[in-house]
Structure 1
C-alpha cells in the first residue's frame, strides 16, 4: 500500500487565523502581556508564518497540505449574538479568501507543490450548500479543484458530513479526531465509510494536545512512541500543526517539535507528504476498511487543549 515505506506521515496545517489582531488583544488582557498587545497592532503579524513553514519543508524535502477557511466575520453574525464571548472567539478577526495577501499565498503554495484544501467553516458540517459554496470560492482563487480538507473545530455529523463532502466532489476528509487526545484511536489505516473511493484519514495528533504544558523531553518521548507505533502497524499517521504555531514567541517549541517529528519519520523510511498525494498512491482495491473503529491504539490525553467550547481560548 505504501510503496515499500514502513508507514506514512501526512502533514497538514489548518489556516484559522493568519492575522493575530483580536486574538492579540484577548491574550494581552488575559495574560497581562505587553508583547501580545504590541503584536495586535497594525503592521505586526506573528501568525503569518507561511514562508517559514515552506522554507522548513523545502529544506527537509517534503510537502504538506494547507486547509483554507471561509468563515463568517463578526459583522455577518446577528447583532443579538455580539455580546457573547463565544461569538467573538469564533468570528472576530477572520480573514477573507479575497484578501490579496491570502490569494498570493494560496497560489504560491500551489505553484510550489503544496496541497491547498478546504477548511469547512464552523456551521458547514450540516450544510452541503454551504460546503459547496466554500469549495467553489477557494477553487476560484486556486484555479483548479480541491480534493480534500478538514472541518473547522473538527465538527462532524457522522456520516452525513462525509456524504456532503463526497457530493461536492471531495475525495477525502481529515476531521475524525480530537483536539485534546492523540493516538491511533480510530485505527491505523484510512477509513472507507461508504465502501467506495471516498476516504477518511483519522487525525492522529493536533500539535496543541501534544506540546502545550509539557516539557521537551516528555514531548519527544511521545513523538518517538507515536512514530514507533506507526512503523509497527504500517500506519497512516496524520498530524496537524496550525501555521500560527510556528511563531516561536507565541508558541515556544512547537515549530522545533514539528521539525524533529518530520526528520525522524524520514530517518525511519516513512513516506511523508500531504494526504492528497497519498490518496493518489493508495491501492483502493486492496484496502477496504469501511467501519469507524474506536479503541484501536492507545489514545494519550492532554488536558491543556486548544480552543474548544470548554477550554481556555487560545486558538482553534
Structure 2
C-alpha cells in the first residue's frame, strides 16, 4: 500500500493549504429506538429517555442541526447512509439466534422511507456529499454491497463516489477490491473506534496503485475525552491533532455521528465539532468532504517540492 501524493496545483484553494480536514458523518441511527431508550433509562437511572421515543420527539434526527452549523461555518461534509438488512425478512432463520444481528436490527432504519429519502435528496441538492455506509456484514459480501450502492443511487438519482463500512469493518484489501469493482472511487474505513491519531499515516492510500483512494480515519468523536465533562482536555487533543496535521501536510479525516449533535444527550460534542472546524480554518486548512477532495488527489501532477499537502506516512 502506498501513500498518495496530494500535489494539486490545478486548484489554488487546495494546493495552497498546508493540510486538509475531511468532515464525515455515519448515519447509523437517525431514530432513537425503544430498545435504546430502555437501555439508557436503566444505565442512567433516568426515565426521561423513554419520553424521547414519543412520536413528536426525535432526538437522533440531527440533519437540520448539522446543516445549520455547517452553513454558519461555510463548510460542507459527507453523510454516509446505512442500509442494514432486515433480520426477519432478509436473513435466514438461523441468523435470528445471533446477538450481533439483534443489535443491528434494533437500530435499523429504512433508507427508502420517504422521510429518509427526502433528507438524502435535500442534503445532496444543497452541496453535501452522500455516500455509502456499508452494512455490518457487507464488507465480505460483494453482492450485498452492490445492492446497497444501487438502492442509494436510485434514491439520489446519481452515482456516488465512496463511503465507509459500518463499524469500520474490513476484510483486508479484499473489501477495497469490492469497492473498486463496484465503481466506488474511495473508502474511509481504515481506522480505529477506540483510539485517535495518525496511526495509518499522514497521507491517503492507494492500495492498488490506481485511482482508488483510501482516506484513513484520524478521529471518531467517541475516542476523544468527553467534552461534556472534560471540554478543555478535548479541545487540547483536537488542537494537537490539527497542529500535527499542519506540520506533516496531512489529510485528516474526522467522523461525527449525527446523534452526537443532540446536546441534551451528548453535551459538548457539537461545540467541539465547531471548535475543530474554526481552528482548522485559522490554520489555513482546506475543509470539506472526501468526495470533494478526491478529484484533486487523483488528478495530481508529478510531485514537486512546492506541494503543501504531503504524501508522508
TM-score (norm. length: structure 1): 0.87
Choose the corresponding residue for 2:41, options 4, 19, 28.
28
Identify the residue that residue 10 of structure 2 maps to in structure 1: none
Identify the residue that residue 89 of structure 1 maps to in structure 2: 103
Are the structure 2 counterparts of residues 74 and 250 from structure 1 closer, same or farther at C-alpha, using a change threshold of 3 Å? farther
| More deviation, 74-83/138-147 | 74-83
Shift of residue 87, structure 1, vs aligned partner = 3.0
Identify the residue that residue 15 of structure 2 maps to in structure 1: 3
CA contact 1:73–1:92 (8 Å) conserved in 2: no
Shift of residue 154, structure 1, vs aligned partner = 0.3
Does the residue aligned with 2:121 lie in a helix, a strand or coil?
A: helix
Does the residue aligned with 1:191 lie in a helix, a strand or coil?
A: strand
Residue 183 in structure 1 maps to residue 190 in structure 2: no
Question: Partners of 1:255 and 1:80 in 2: how far apart?
Answer: 41
Choose the corresponding residue for 2:65, options 39, 42, 52.
52
Are the structure 2 counterparts of residues 285 and 127 from structure 1 closer, same or farther at C-alpha, using a change threshold of 3 Å? farther
Question: Partners of 2:29 and 2:266 in 1: how far apart?
Answer: 14
1:91-149, Cα deviation, whole Å (9 max, x unpaired): 21411111110011000000000000000001110011111100000000000000000
Shift of residue 212, structure 1, vs aligned partner = 3.1
Question: Partners of 1:122 and 1:242 in 2: how far apart?
Answer: 16
Residue 12 in structure 1 maps to residue 30 in structure 2: no
Structure 1: state its 5+ residue gaps: 288-295, 298-316
> Highest relative contact order (Cα 8 Å, sep 6+), 1 or 2?
2
Residue 171 in structure 1 maps to residue 182 in structure 2: no
Shift of residue 284, structure 1, vs aligned partner = 3.9
CA contact 1:73–1:93 (8 Å) conserved in 2: no
What is the correspondence of 1:62-211 to structure 2 with a 5 Å cutoff? 62-76=75-89, 77-82=91-96, 85-211=99-225
Identify the residue that residue 240 of structure 1 maps to in structure 2: 255
TM-score (norm. length: structure 2): 0.88
Question: Partners of 2:119 and 2:48 in 1: how far apart?
Answer: 26
Computed over aligned residues only, the root mean square deviation of the Cα atoms, in angstroms, reads: 1.7
CA contact 1:125–1:157 (8 Å) conserved in 2: yes
Count residues in correspondence.
289
CA contact 1:23–1:40 (8 Å) conserved in 2: no
Are the structure 2 counterparts of residues 83 and 33 from structure 1 closer, same or farther at C-alpha, using a change threshold of 3 Å? farther
Shift of residue 78, structure 1, vs aligned partner = 4.4
CA contact 1:25–1:37 (8 Å) conserved in 2: yes
1:194-221, Cα deviation, whole Å (9 max, x unpaired): 0001000000000011143861111011
Structure 2: state its 5+ residue gaps: 1-6, 8-13, 304-311
Identify the residue that residue 277 of structure 2 maps to in structure 1: 262
Are the structure 2 counterparts of residues 46 and 126 from structure 1 closer, same or farther at C-alpha, using a change threshold of 3 Å? same
Identify the residue that residue 50 of structure 2 maps to in structure 1: 37
Question: Partners of 2:216 and 2:37 in 1: how far apart?
Answer: 31
| More deviation, 157-166/37-46 | 37-46
| More deviation, 81-90/239-248 | 81-90
